[in-house]
Amino acid sequence: MSTTTKARTSSFSRNPLAGPTSQIPGLKPGPNGAVFVSSGIPDLDRILGGGFCLGSLIMVMEDPEAPHHMLLLRNFMAQGLLHNQPLLYGSSSKDPKGFLGTLPNPMSPKDDKPRDRGTEQDKDLRIAWQYKKYSRENQLDSNHEFCSTFDLRKPLERQYFGGKHVDCVSTQDLTLDILLQRCSTFLAQNSRSGSSISCGGRIAIQSFCAPQCGYIDKDWDMLAFIKSLKGLVRASNAVAIITFPHSLLSSSFSKRWQHLADTLLSELAQLLTGYQEMVGFLGIHKVARMNTQVPLVLEATTFSIKLHKRRSLVLECLNQAPIDGASGTSYGTSSSCSTSTKQGSLDF
Amino acid sequence: MERSSNLLDEALGIIYDNSSLSSSSSSLPNGSCVLIEDCVETSASFVIHHILKRSLSPNSSSSVVFLSLSHPFSHYDRILRKLGCNLAAQRDNRRFFFFDMLMLGCTEQSLGNIHSGGLIELYGKIQKAIEDSNSSSGNSKCITIVLDDFSLIEVAAKGSFNHSLDFLRYCYTLTSEFGCSLVILNHEDIYLEEESATPILQMEYLANILIKAEPLSTGLAADVHGQLTVLNKGTYDKTRNSMNKGLGLEERAWSHGQLMRNVVPSRLGVPSMLRV
């Protein structure tokens, strides 16, 4: 008895989570005992310091003029299915199952060439020397790497849907209590039992306070729902992401929602034209700090969302206004003009 | 080696001397009420961690009653370990009482409790913890009650300001009844609209020391994370036998020393301009 208490109260205890999680695909141990799951966007993982923290609640503030939260959700959900993680998807639409058909497929290794040329050539050399080994490695990688790059133009292959706990609910015909019950039974299936982590579950709820759900006069009930969901997720082995149209809430309730989030993202429609690849902006307001009080210092709070070659999502820092090389205007005028408009719209 | 007392201690009225082994109290002054306000961009939870660390330091005899609505025990335990304080051991010593209220107001409750969201029951638990702690060690002990955070109590009470404010006032009576000190974390930006400002105004009225955390108005900086505004309403401090600062406003910038994993508040470069 005395030895067990001693082991528990000692400051130098081995982290029981560090060992086993490194072998489970889709989970990555982070600092301070945190475990990360991937957001499905490599750049976002990097910005957030590893990915979404297991046990955290991510909230995305929707822009009524832009559907970028759908891109985030698609990648998030597809990544989960790729890693064989259970998924619960709640949506305000009548047919939430239909959304699963729009999930992107991971890029096949053939066309998933890295953006820089140098590594590409290195790999080619390796192929020439050890062709067999390389091809086998690649097959493993596409299923087991922590974060895949997704091709938004190709739908997710059928094989990834098979035999897993994929649950879809329409929030239109559910009351908040029942929705919470669905979430809690879903989470109970993969609860955090001691030190063994099986795989991270994912909950995605889209457009939570949209008018068609009929929650609009239940401000406090919605808050209580989010608070309970946060508590449930924290105690279990899962990640929840909620997107909400914050313009529908009063400003004080919107702030309450934002305070409840562990990680808070926002999206912004693109106000500029002439940037071919850029589709909008992503703001990062809060990053989950589990078990630590040291805040993560971001290089920037606003990133541009780009569609690289019209297929994969890329986030880029906006240090300078991007200059559109294709447009015929001279260098000087275009840059100065775009800088001023950008600062006006983004409120740096 | 850590500095004996930093600016945050000074602002809170904590006298902390690491070097001397005298029985100087390193907890908050008895009967004080501290309100900490933060906003979405800048969290002020580090002030709570600092108060916890000081109150549970080895050369003080005070204990802490901690109501957590936002994080589980393991979160605080890890943070305080980095600051050199073992919460699990203090809990076993009955110096640290932790109420995990993550699911407050969510679980099924008895009929009488539905409207108040279980707050009456919760207050009963706090009172009992304080009475137990007082009876076991005489009345010399100073108890700090920490509420993290108040906006979630409002959520648990399903938006009934009467219930949540009653709960707060009850906790406040404990400061005079048992000489406890009360620390409340709340979010300022929730109450910016005029019609919803009542709770925060009442709290600001009750508090002796008001601490506001804001992001730097100049934007992101690599090593400064925000600024703290401390308003000390001037309480009579027995240990110093003098008025502990009059009504004054001080602004400080703080930075989290990344290597120390510790919070080191430092004065802004131009104190003469900012001090009133």
The 10 Å Cβ neighbour count of residue A8 is 11
Strands A278-286 and A302-308: antiparallel
Angle among Cα B106, B109, B110 to the nearest 5 degrees reads: 165
CA distance B203 to B172: 10
| pLDDT, position A239 | 92
* pLDDT of amino acid A12: 56
Chain A: give the shortest CA distance to residue B71, in Å.
8
Q: Per mean pLDDT, which range of A19-33, A36-50, A184-198, B189-203 is the poorest? A: A184-198
Every domain of chain B and the residues it spans:
31-274
* Per-residue confidence (pLDDT) for residue B226, from 0 to 100: 78
Contact A259 B263 (CB under 8 A): no
Name which residue leads in pLDDT, B202 or A200.
B202
Average pLDDT over residues B220-235: 75
DSSP result, chain B: ---SS-HHHHHHT----SS--S----SPPTT-EEEEEE-SSS--HHHHHHHHHHHTSTT---EEEEEESSS-HHHHHHHHHHTT--HHHHHHTTSEEEEE-TTTTTS---GGGTTTTTHHHHHHHHHHHHHHHHHHH-TT--EEEEEE-HHHHHHHTTT-HHHHHHHHHHHHHHHHHH--EEEEEEEGGGG-SGGG-HHHHHHHHH-SEEEEEE--TT---SS--EEEEEEE---EETTTTEE---SEEEEEEEEEETTTTEEEEEE-S-HHHH--
Picking from A35-39, A224-228, A332-336, B62-66, which range would have the lowest pLDDT averaged per residue? A332-336
Using a CB–CB cut-off of 8 Å, the residues of B that contact A are: 40-41, 43, 45-46, 49, 71-72, 74-75, 78-79, 81-82, 86, 88-89, 92, 102-103, 105-106, 151-152, 155-156, 158-159, 187, 189-193, 196, 219-220, 222, 225, 256, 258, 261, 263
Nearest CB among A9, A224, A252 relative to B88 is that of A9
Contact B193 A32 (CB under 8 A): no
Q: Compute CA B159 distance to the chain's CA centroid, rounded to the nearest angstrom.
A: 23
Q: Is the dihedral of CA B153, B155, B157, B162 positive or negative?
A: positive
- Most A CBs within 10 Å, among B46, B85, B190, to test the A interface: B190
Q: What is the pLDDT of residues B113-129, one digit of tens each?
A: 556 667 888 898 899 98
Number of H helices, E strands in chain A: 11, 14
User: In DSSP terms, which residues pair with A155 in a beta bridge?
Assistant: A104
Question: DSSP secondary-structure letter at A63?
Answer: B
CA-to-CA separations, A231 to A55, A57, A78, A201, in angstroms, rounded: 9, 9, 25, 15
In this predicted structure, what is the pLDDT of residue B87? 92
CA distance B222 to chain A (A): 7
Position B272 pLDDT exceeds 50: no
Smallest Cβ distance to B106: which of A220, A231, A256? A231
Model confidence at A243: pLDDT above 90: yes
Nearest-Cα residue of chain B relative to residue A220: B158
Could you tell me the pLDDT band of residue B66, with boundaries at 50, 70 and 90?
A: very high
| pLDDT one-digit tens code per residue, A196-229 | 456 678 999 998 888 888 777 788 889 989 999 9
Q: How confident is the model at residue A8 (pLDDT cuts 50, 70, 90)?
A: very low
Q: Interface of chain A against chain B, CB under 8 Å?
A: 5, 8-9, 11, 32-33, 180, 219-221, 223-224, 227-228, 230-232, 234-235, 250-252, 255-256, 258-259, 264, 285-286, 289-295, 297-298, 300-301, 348
Residue of B40, B78, B225 lying closest to A32 (CB–CB): B78
B chain contacts of residue A292, beta-carbon cutoff 8 Å: 78-79, 82, 261
Share of chain A above pLDDT 90, in %: 15
Distance from CA of B156 to the nearest CA of A (A): 7
B193 → closest Cβ in A8, A235, A252: A252
Residue A195 has pLDDT above 80, yes or no: no
| A68 against A143, higher pLDDT | A68
- Domains along the sequence of chain A with CATH: 26-107+148-337 (3.40.50.300), 109-145 (no CATH)
State whether A293 and B193 contact (CB < 8 Å): no
Contacts of B71 in chain A (CB under 8 A): 234
Superfamily name with CATH number, domain B31-274? P-loop containing nucleotide triphosphate hydrolases (3.40.50.300)
What average pLDDT score do residues B103-109 get?
A: 64
Between A61-70, A226-235, B14-23, B146-155, the lowest mean confidence (pLDDT) is in: B14-23
In A, which residues are within 8 Å of B196 by CB distance?
A: 252
CA distance B228 to chain A (A): 16
Q: Give pLDDT tens digits for A257-313.
A: 999 999 999 988 877 666 767 888 899 988 988 888 877 778 788 888 888 887 888
pLDDT-derived band at B182, boundaries 50, 70, 90: very high
Count CB atoms within 10 A of the CB of residue B19: 7
Predicted ipTM beyond 0.85: no
d(CA B211, CA B30): 18
Backbone angles phi, psi at A28, to 5 degrees: -135, 125
- C-beta of residue A90 within 8 angstroms of C-beta of residue A206: yes
CB contact under 8 A, A259 and B187: yes
Stretch B148-177: mean pLDDT: 88
CA B252/CA B233 separation, integer angstroms: 17
Q: Is the pLDDT of residue B137 over 60?
A: yes
pLDDT band at B107 (very low <50, low <70, confident <90, very high): low
Asked if B158's CB is within 8 angstroms of A224's CB, the reply is yes
Q: Which residue of A has its CA nearest to B105?
A: A224
* B64's tokens: 């802490």
Residues of A in contact with B43 (CB under 8 A): 289, 295
- Write the pLDDT tens digit of every residue in A112-124: 444 444 444 455 5
Q: Do B156 and A32 touch (CB under 8 A)?
A: no
